[in-house]
């Protein structure tokens, strides 16, 4: 049923171009006192309040957010919902961390009630962080996908999720088989892919935990279902890379393991890619595959520094988005993640501009996922997924942002000092799904 139109008033900040192609300050589109009109879940007009107010449909409800920013909802290109219970687990790098913390946590998802409870809590945390789309790893259990996507369907968010495929080098209670993994994934695609806003990702965990036969089966699923995604991990940690070399001696690189199985193409999303070279960047560019940059995770596990500006080299740009990678990542907040991305970029001598950081969390992430005609931008025709950012969320922010002389400076202060406390409200599919000041969810 058609709902009453809503118009949000505030400082609209979105993109008209990529800040890695045009000058960052020219990439931004801002409306200091703007209105975003939402009709039936879609944005139908954006412009100056002074102009648009007189043209609104007669029954429009106007919600004023004052000097808060109206941005596209954040898009998290890589995150694990079953790992929320083990976020902030001490003392290990990747492979030991998986064994010691992650596999036991994921084993608990054999119980569908654990999956449902965790999915609800995870969704609440996403909304609290202003995230309206995420590419989500579930567990090896098919029901873990049902739990998460059912919650997303209830809330109205556009989510991408998949059952983890894992048929070796994992505890017995977390392994599937080539056949079971294929059949479960095919059934989940039938159940969920394109159901409302929900999308499916074929999800082989990484090369270490899948046999070559399972990777082949994943390739068949990916090729056989147009529009589905494929997500996995790539070249995160040096010990991991050495293990992949030993397991696949006949392949020329880690990426080639996936390429050989038909897993590299549009809608492929590779998490991390910290330790890849020019050949792999070129292959991702030409194949339209995407990389998910997960700075808080790479720092937390001591994995290394992703070369963002090499990935985005305008001579052969690779589609790239930001990922939080919780539970190796230390926050679901994209503001925090942007702040860490700035520091990681500096480690290789590059200055990440605030507009570039926000683009990687919104329009750029949407582009990386081939969803940039639907989400990631505040413009007519786009789905009404929005996040409202309060520049005065804390006393220090209020005091510091008072001194800002440009929107770029304001964005930089927000990404450096801000976190989920700045998210005043989150809108998904034209509905308010989080309101900070009344502490209410959808
Ligand atoms: N590589 C394989 N599985 C995982 C995971 O769950 N998290 C991270 N960060 N890396 C991985
Ligand atoms: Zn991950």
Q: From edge to edge, which strands make up the β-sheet containing 61-72?
A: 42-48, 28-39, 6-15, 61-72, 386-389, 423-428, 431-435, 440-441
Atom 7, ligand 1: which residue's CA is nearest?
328
Q: CA 201 to CA 194: how far, in whole Å? A: 11
Mean pLDDT of the chain: 98
**325 and 414 share a domain?**
no
Write down the ipTM of this complex: 0.99
Q: What is the largest CA-CA distance in the chain?
A: 68
**118 and 239 share a domain?**
yes
Question: Does 200 score more than 50 pLDDT?
Answer: yes
Ligand 2 centroid vs 174 CA: distance in angstroms? Answer: 16
179: Cβ contacts below 8 Å, ≥ 6 apart: none
**190 and 95 share a domain?**
yes
Residue 422 phi, psi (nearest 5): -80, -15
Give the residues surrounding ligand 1 with Cβ less than 6 Å away. Answer: 80, 94, 98, 102, 205-206, 233, 236, 297, 325, 328
**414 and 387 share a domain?**
yes
**151 and 173 share a domain?**
yes
Q: Which of 94, 208, 244, when mutated, tests ligand 1's pocket best, judged by the most ligand atoms within 8 Å of its CB?
A: 94
Ligand nearest to the CA of 205: 1
Q: Which of 76, 88, 102, 210, when mutated, tests ligand 1's pocket best, judged by the most ligand atoms within 8 Å of its CB?
A: 102
Is residue 1, in this structure, part of any structural domain at all?
no
Where does the pLDDT of residue 54 fall: very low under 50, low under 70, confident under 90, or very high at 90 and above? Answer: very high
Work out how many domains the chain is built from and give that number.
2
Bridge partners for 268 per DSSP: 230
Q: Which of 87, 100, 205, when mutated, tests ligand 1's pocket best, judged by the most ligand atoms within 8 Å of its CB?
A: 205
End-of-domain residue from the set 317, 332, 347: 332
Could you tell me which of 338, 326, 330 has the C-alpha nearest to residue 299?
Answer: 330
Return the half-sphere exposure (C-beta side, CA atoms, 13 A cut-off) of residue 51.
9
Structure token pair of residue 83 = 């790992």
Ligand nearest to the CA of 329: 1
Ligand 2 centroid vs 122 CA: distance in angstroms? Answer: 15
CA torsion through residues 74, 75, 79, 85, sign: positive
Q: CA 256 to CA 269: how far, in whole Å? A: 15
End-of-domain residue from the set 312, 332, 352: 332
Is residue 351, in this structure, part of any structural domain at all?
no
Overall residue count recorded for the chain in this entry: 442
Ligand nearest to the CA of 103: 1
Give the three-state DSSP class for 5. coil
Could you tell me which of 178, 155, 153 has the C-alpha nearest to residue 168?
Answer: 178
| Nearest ligand 1 atom to alpha carbon 328 | 9
Q: CA 388 to CA 306: how far, in whole Å? A: 29
Ligand 2 centroid vs 240 CA: distance in angstroms? Answer: 13
**102 and 65 share a domain?**
no
Q: CA 14 to CA 380: how far, in whole Å? A: 12
Asked if residue 318 lies in contact with residue 292, where contact means CB atoms within 8 angstroms, the answer is no
Where do we find the tokens 């999915």?
Answer: 119
| Nearest ligand 1 atom to alpha carbon 208 | 2
| Nearest ligand 1 atom to alpha carbon 303 | 9
146: Cβ contacts below 8 Å, ≥ 6 apart: 112, 115, 188, 191, 192
Question: Does 442 score more than 60 pLDDT?
Answer: yes
Q: Which of 98, 326, 327, 329, when mutated, tests ligand 1's pocket best, judged by the most ligand atoms within 8 Å of its CB?
A: 98
Ligand nearest to the CA of 169: 1
Where does the pLDDT of residue 2 fall: very low under 50, low under 70, confident under 90, or very high at 90 and above? Answer: low
Asked if residue 210 lies in contact with residue 177, where contact means CB atoms within 8 angstroms, the answer is no
Residue 267 phi, psi (nearest 5): 75, 10
Is residue 345, in this structure, part of any structural domain at all?
no
326: Cβ contacts below 8 Å, ≥ 6 apart: 79, 80, 83, 84, 87, 297, 332
Q: CA 21 to CA 250: how far, in whole Å? A: 38
CATH code where residue 435 lies: 2.30.40.10
> Averaged over 190-207, what is the pLDDT?
98
**132 and 240 share a domain?**
yes
Q: Which of 233, 270, 302, when mutated, tests ligand 1's pocket best, judged by the most ligand atoms within 8 Å of its CB?
A: 233
Is residue 190, in this structure, part of any structural domain at all?
yes
Ligand 2 centroid vs 365 CA: distance in angstroms? Answer: 16
> Averaged over 205-226, what is the pLDDT?
98
Ligand 2 centroid vs 96 CA: distance in angstroms? Answer: 14
Domain around 289: 74-332
**318 and 397 share a domain?**
no
Is residue 357, in this structure, part of any structural domain at all?
no
**121 and 195 share a domain?**
yes
Atom 11, ligand 1: which residue's CA is nearest?
233
Q: Is omega for the bond preceding 327 within 30 degrees of 0, making it cis?
A: yes
* Percentage of the residues of the chain whose pLDDT score is greater than 90: 99
**222 and 295 share a domain?**
yes
- Looking at residue 1, what is its pLDDT? 47
Burial class (CB in 10 A: 0-12, 13-18, 19+), 192: buried
**80 and 200 share a domain?**
yes
Where do we find the tokens 């049923």?
Answer: 1
Q: Which helix (H) or strand (E) covers residue 434, if one does?
A: strand 431-435
Q: In this predicted model, what pLDDT tens digit does every residue of 245-300 receive, in sequence order? A: 999 999 999 999 999 999 999 999 999 999 999 999 999 999 999 999 999 999 99
**20 and 65 share a domain?**
yes
| Nearest ligand 1 atom to alpha carbon 206 | 2
Question: Does 47 score more than 80 pLDDT?
Answer: yes
Ligand 1 centroid vs 94 CA: distance in angstroms? Answer: 7
């Amino acid at each position: 049923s058609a709902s009453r139109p809503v118009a949000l008033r505030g400082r609209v900040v979105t993109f008209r171009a990529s800040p890695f192609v045009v000058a960052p300050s020219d990439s931004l589109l801002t409306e200091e006192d703007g209105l975003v009109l939402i009709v039936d879940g879609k944005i139908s007009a954006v412009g100056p309040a002074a102009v648009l107010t007189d043209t609104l449909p007669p029954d429009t409800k106007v919600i004023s957010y004052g000097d808060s920013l109206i941005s596209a909802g954040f898009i998290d290109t890589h995150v694990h919902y079953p790992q929320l219970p083990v976020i902030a687990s001490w003392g290990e790098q990747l492979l030991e961390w998986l064994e010691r913390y992650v596999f036991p946590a994921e084993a608990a998802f054999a119980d569908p009630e654990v999956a449902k409870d965790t999915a609800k809590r995870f969704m609440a945390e996403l909304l609290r962080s202003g995230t309206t789309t995420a590419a989500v790893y579930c567990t090896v259990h098919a029901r873990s996908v049902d739990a998460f996507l059912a919650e997303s369907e209830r809330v109205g968010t556009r989510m991408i999720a998949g059952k983890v495929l894992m048929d070796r080098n994992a505890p017995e209670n977390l392994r599937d088989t080539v056949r079971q993994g294929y059949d479960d994934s095919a059934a989940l695609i039938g159940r969920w892919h394109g159901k409302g806003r929900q999308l499916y990702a074929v999800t082989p965990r990484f090369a270490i935990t899948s046999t070559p036969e399972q990777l082949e089966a994943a390739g068949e699923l990916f090729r056989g279902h147009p529009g589905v995604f494929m997500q996995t991990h790539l070249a995160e940690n040096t010990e991991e890379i050495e293990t992949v070399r030993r397991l696949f001696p006949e392949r020329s690189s880690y990426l080639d393991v996936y390429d050989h199985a038909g897993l590299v193409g549009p809608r492929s999303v590779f998490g991390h890619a910290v330790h890849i070279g020019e050949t792999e960047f070129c292959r991702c560019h030409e194949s339209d595959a995407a990389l998910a940059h997960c700075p808080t995770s790479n720092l937390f596990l001591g994995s290394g520094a992703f070369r963002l500006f090499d990935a985005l080299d305008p001579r052969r740009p690779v589609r790239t988005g930001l990922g939080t990678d919780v539970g190796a990542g230390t926050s679901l907040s994209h503001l925090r993640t942007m702040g860490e991305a700035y520091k990681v970029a500096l480690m290789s001598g590059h200055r990440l501009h605030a507009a570039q950081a926000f683009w990687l969390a919104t329009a750029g992430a949407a582009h990386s996922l081939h969803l940039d005609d639907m989400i990631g931008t505040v413009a007519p025709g786009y789905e009404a997924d929005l996040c409202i950012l309060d520049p005065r969320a804390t006393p220090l922010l209020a005091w510091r942002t008072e001194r800002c002389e440009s929107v770029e400076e304001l964005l930089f202060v927000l990404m450096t000092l801000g976190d989920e406390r700045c998210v005043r409200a989150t809108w998904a599919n034209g509905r308010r799904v989080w309101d900070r000041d009344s502490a209410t969810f959808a």
